[in-house]
Amino acid sequence: MTSPNTGSNSGDTTTVALPKGARLVVSVPNRFLSSKGQSVQLNTQLLDASGQTLPLDDLKLLFSSSRPLDFSISESGLVRSLKSNGFSSLTVRVEGTDLVAVQQISV
């Protein structure tokens, strides 16, 4: 697995050594927003196989929305509703790994 700026260097990419069984978990305080323009912060955790929290400090998280015309999402995971009615699957990936988490949201 690779990611920029973490682990040991090999050219432009760097190897990320995550523990076996590590998983990414994403949640929002409220997945049902009430109006256009409302914002909510995604909470992202990296857990080991036993459920203990691991640091995310050296990992780059990539955020995306399946419906970017309904919900925007910033590089820090701040989600904003762009319409009065809509839904989206919000995806968080750890760059350079196969770790992915998805959270549904609607307005």
According to DSSP, the residues that pair with 104 across neighbouring strands are: 89
Quick one: which of 102, 95, 82 has its CA closest to 12?
95
Cβ-based neighbours of 28, under 8 Å, separated by 6 or more: 40, 41, 42, 43, 79, 90, 103, 105
3-state helix, strand, coil in the chain (%, to 5): 0, 45, 55
pLDDT of residue 14: 57
pLDDT of residue 15: 59
Tens digit of pLDDT at every position of the chain (107 positions): 333 333 444 445 555 678 889 999 999 999 999 999 999 999 999 999 999 999 998 899 999 999 999 999 999 999 999 999 999 999 999 998 889 999 999 99
- C-alpha distances (whole Å) from 60 to each of 15, 64, 69 are 13, 13, 24
Q: What is the pTM of this model?
A: 0.81
Cβ-contact 105, 33 below 8 angstroms: yes
